[in-house]
A and B are shown apart, each in its own frame.
Chain A
Amino acid sequence: MELWFREAHTPNVKLSIRVDKQLYSGQSEFQRIDVFDSQEFGRFLTLDGYMMLTEKDEFIYHEMMVHIPMAVHPNVKDVLVIGGGDGGVVRELCRYPEIEHIDLVEIDPQVVEVCRRYLPFTTCSLDDPRVCIHYEDGLRYVRTPVEQYDLIIVDSTDPFGPGEGLFTREFYGNCSKALRSDGIMVNQHESPFYQEDAIACQRAHKRIVESFPLAKVYQAHIPSYPSGHWLFGFASKKYHPLRDLDEVRWNARKLSCKYYTTMLHKGAFYIPAYVEELLKNVESAD
């Protein structure tokens, strides 16, 4: 028997992964949730048919979302994670003892429930006493807090479907308001490669630039995502991602990572010329 999961990365490009078996399929109030086992990528989670994470390469995404800002900001105590019901970002955050409180805002309780059951490798820290889970629309949640967080991590789905509100000007503006005066926001920034994704990427950057004094992007290679070339946004009110990187301090922590190093940190901000061009176009508009 041949069973394949296929995701269209564009109308003309597909990625197929041979599935060993399907472990879960359900429809929540917001989306369809599926979990599969595969030979090549191990266990993987899809939402509405879009790849969210695989056992084999999730470390890249989650390490890059968390360790980059943590190696820059000298004193992170309060963290807000928006989206990220799979727990991967929280797992990496919980490795820092100085973090006192983590609010995780996930719109879909069923995602957390399914991940807890099938993806223990990412949900393992969700019961950490510092973690508080709120089942709420992220856009709604950030309306209220004012200068309450040191770090906001936006672990959203794609800019269409339930995650659309997390790519808007009003969302980034509210995040800026919810951060303290030296706060940092890191966000999942889509891929710059295929035409439609590149437009979404450019729009997101434009809106972040409008909301923060400093906005940079950095990259990682994530094999299971469209084109494999993925971007993250680093937006901040004060700290520069390279000038304020404290390599000695971070390396003294002796955290073992599979992807992140402080060397790679520096390299990740050196982006290809065509991506620089894509982003510069919207920066100069202001």
Chain B
Amino acid sequence: MPVLDQTSAPIYEALERFRSMRVVPFDVPGHKRGRGNPELTRLLGETCVSMDVNSMKPLDNLCHPVSVIRDAEKLAADAFGAAHAFLMVGGTTSAVQSMVLSAVKGGEKIILPRNVHRSVMGAMVLCGAVPVYVNPECDDRLGIPLGMKVSEVERAICENPDAKAVLVNNPTYYGICSDLKAIVELAHAHGMLCLADEAHGTHFYFHEDLPMSAMEAGADMAAVSMHKSGGSLTQSSLLLTGPNMSPGHVRQIINLTQTTSASYLLLSSLDIARRNLALRGREEFGRVMQMADYARKEINDIGGYYAFSKELINGDSVYDFDITKLSVNTLNIGLAGIEVYDLLRDEYDIQIEFGDLGNILAYLSIGDRPREIERLVSSLSEVRRRFGKNSSAGLMKQEYIEPEVVVSPQKAFYAPKESLPLKNTVGRVCSEFVMCYPPGIPILTPGERITQDIIAYILYAKEKGCSMTGPEDPDITCLNVLDLKED
């Protein structure tokens, strides 16, 4: 039995062994190493389609890992300092949902910031848990939601001593971290679990100059988007658990919704990405931080733009900042973030991660090179020269609109409802999600009261060209609201 250490990649190695055996496939997938779908083979390449195979003895099975997948999970757990790691193939959405479903049941409360990803709210529709929102601070200048103050979390815990868990974004999409360690201690002191959405925090595990990771802070579970900063294929992810969680229970929850035909392309990409991070992550993320710092300096030198960083840190609602996130406020060049986002794509062939009302986010990772950074900075300089306006008048800042939760997301989602024109919904209870995507943070979730401010926000975001998703009516001219007798 070979020694397992971070230089090995058990799934990848098993696939290589399997390939050299030239096994004749009379099992699924039916394309049979690509032969049955030559156009697909031409597009993806022979190596790729020949690795698209099914679970079998030499390759283990994700639903019940006993050999190479178990070894790969063990190595991932070691690399991330977790008690257990689960390889996930349904995106970080599935990791987040499994995490929430493992922690709370129907009717139980979970304390969380309102700027959670839609997947968290989706999990609540599935299981019937009730959200207790902690009001995140909002930065007035930037118009972005910050982290949770420890005192606010404490207040929520004291007001809801029956809550089962606290969920924390580590970090937010914009790179902002709460004091996770203090929140973990607080939750544990009150017998609650602490869960972390680390969709944007994979790299925290691999460099000491980055904010503290969930496992280091003692959190009970963390959903880690390996495919974002970690370098694995899109849709692959990790769910990490701490020593207080039963891995068997979490596995059962995962298997409720996870495919029984897990893709080996995704699994091997997780395995190889984990090895790469364990061996070279520190050096690579050091380089990413340098590039991000350089880009921030150059962008701030253009004038008008504000590429923000650690100066936001205030010891509480901004406890730490992830400097690999290149977030830039655009309001002072007289353009909304979403407008800059569109100009970069349409005029300069540059696709960035998202633009909201006042900011853009360029995602930097281990795949970036200085020459692409130069293109981004030069394009921003040109956007300002060609399209910038002297005044930011008429631009709306994103403001935190405190939600009024009238009924649980699950109840609202399944209750009898009617469809009303957007403007006639003020005062009614929404029964569906409304989101700007990205970043995919809900503006409305099922069970929340619709207000005039919310309608104004939706109309403005639509006008500026934000892509709005969620409602049954794709144009969002109508919204589904609860029948009055349910309200």
Interface residues of A (CB under 8 A from B): 137, 139-140, 142-143, 162, 164-165, 168-171, 173-174, 177
In the bound assembly, the distance between CA atoms of A169 and B387 in angstroms comes to: 14
- In the assembled complex, the Cα of A79 lies from the Cα of B93 at a distance in Å of 55
User: Is B102 in the interface zone, CB < 8 Å from A?
Assistant: no
Cβ-closest 7 pairs across A and B: A170-B378, A170-B379, A173-B382, A139-B374, A170-B382, A140-B374, A137-B374
Bound Cα distance from A72 to B364, whole angstroms: 45
Is the beta-carbon distance between B347 and A162 smaller than 8 angstroms?
no
Interface size class of chain B, counting residues whose CB lies under 8 Å from the partner chain: 10 to 19
Instruction: Enumerate 17 A-B pairs (CB-CB under 8 Å) in ascending A order.
Output: A137-B374, A139-B378, A140-B298, A140-B377, A142-B378, A143-B298, A143-B302, A164-B371, A165-B374, A168-B349, A168-B378, A169-B382, A170-B381, A173-B382, A173-B385, A173-B386, A177-B385
State A253–B377 Cα separation when bound (angstroms).
42
| A260 shortest CB reach to chain B, Å | 32
A140 close to B385 (CB less than 8 A)? no
Contact between chains at A137 and B381 (CB < 8 Å): no
Q: Give Cα A7–Cα B375 distance, bound, in whole angstroms.
A: 29
Identify which of B298, B347, B371, B377 contacts A169 (C-beta below 8 A). Answer: B347
8 Å CB contact of A170 from B298, B371, B375: B375
B375 near A168 with CB under 8 A, answer: yes
Contact residues in B for A139 (Cβ distance below 8 Å):
371, 374-375, 378
Residues of chain B having any CB pair with chain A under 8 Å: 298, 302, 347-349, 370-371, 374-375, 377-379, 381-382, 385-386
Whether A174 contacts B371 by the Cβ 8 Å rule is: no
Q: A169-B348, A170-B378 are in contact. Are A137 and B385 (CB under 8 A)?
A: no
Say whether A143 contacts B371, CB under 8 Å. no
**B residues near A174, Cβ cutoff 8 Å:** 378, 381-382
Interface of A is mostly: helix
Which of B347, B378, B379, B385 is the most central at the interface, judged by chain A CB atoms within 10 Å of its CB?
A: B378
Give the A-B contact count at a CB cut-off of 8 A: 47
Tell me the bound Cα distance from A171 to B298 in angstroms. Answer: 16
Q: How far is the CB of B376 from chain A (nearest CB, A)?
A: 9
**A170–B348 CB distance below 8 A:** yes
Inter-chain CA distance A137–B372, complex, in Å, is 11
Of A137, A164, A168, A171, which one neighbours B370 at CB under 8 angstroms?
A137
- Give the Cβ gap from A136 to chain B, nearest Cβ, in Å: 10
Contact of B371 with A162 in the complex, beta carbons under 8 Å: yes
Residue on B nearest A161 in the bound complex, by CB: B371
* In the complex, chain B residues whose CB is within 8 Å of the CB of A164: 371
- A173–B377 CA distance with the chains assembled, in angstroms: 13
Are A137 and B382 interface neighbours, CB within 8 A?
A: no
- Given the known A-B contacts A170-B348, A173-B386, are A165 and B371 also in contact in the complex, defined by CB atoms under 8 Å? yes
Residue of B whose beta carbon sits closest to that of A177: B385
Chain A min CB distance to B143 (Å): 27
The residues of B that contact A137 with a CB separation of less than 8 Å are 370-371, 374
| A142 closest partner in B (C-beta) | B378
A165→B375 CA distance, assembly (Å): 6
Chain B residue with Cβ nearest A146: B385
- The residue in chain A whose Cβ has the minimal distance to the Cβ of B377 is A143
Smallest CB–CB gap between A211 and chain B, Å?
Answer: 9
CA distance A165 to B379 in the complex (A): 11
Further pairs besides A137-B374, A165-B375, A173-B382: 7, Cβ < 8 Å: A137-B370, A140-B377, A143-B302, A143-B378, A162-B371, A171-B378, A177-B385
Query: B333: shortest Cβ distance to chain A, in Å?
Result: 15
B297 smallest CB distance to A (angstroms): 12
Q: Please measure, in the bound complex, the distance between the C-alpha atom of A92 and the C-alpha atom of B276, giving whole angstroms.
A: 50
Question: Which residues does chain A contribute within 8 Å of B375, judged by CB atoms?
Answer: 139, 165, 168, 170
